[in-house]
């Protein structure tokens, strides 16, 4: 299992279009991937799950992955979030 804490800095947070980019990227990995906020964990490959967390600008979340490509998954998704969620 590999984890990394990140803070969402883009203006709109992780909803709508940015969340779609995030989920598309998460689905490129074979590992199970989760996003955790305030002790609530959802599947990072589920749009409804990610949207349900209500992640806004300034929110700190933990990315968690478990599987054969777990470190690459977390690193790539953290870089995507840090870039402002641009495709």
For the chain, the structural domain boundaries read 2-82
Angle subtended by helix axes 17-26 and 70-82, to nearest 10 = 160
**Active site residue ranges:** 15
Q: Which CATH superfamily is domain 2-82 in?
A: HPr-like (3.30.1340.10)
Does residue 75 carry a pLDDT above 80? yes
Q: What's the mean pLDDT in 64-84?
A: 96
The whole-model pTM stands at: 0.93
Distance, in Å, from the CA atom of 59 to the CA atom of 46, rounded to the nearest integer, reads: 19
Q: Which pLDDT band holds residue 12 (cuts at 50, 70, 90)? A: confident
Q: What is the pLDDT of residues 19-65, one digit of tens each?
A: 999 999 999 999 999 999 999 999 999 999 999 999 999 999 999 99
Q: Collapsing DSSP states into helix, strand and coil, what is residue 30? A: coil
């Amino acid at each position: 299992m590999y984890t990394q804490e990140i803070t969402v800095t883009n203006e709109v947070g992780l909803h709508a279009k940015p969340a779609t980019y995030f989920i598309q990227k998460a689905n490129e990995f074979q590992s199970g991937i989760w996003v955790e906020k305030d002790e609530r964990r959802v599947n990072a490959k589920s749009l409804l799950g990610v949207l349900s967390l209500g992640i806004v600008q300034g929110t700190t979340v933990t990315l968690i992955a478990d599987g054969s490509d777990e470190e690459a998954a977390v690193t790539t998704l953290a870089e995507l979030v840090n870039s402002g969620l641009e495709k």
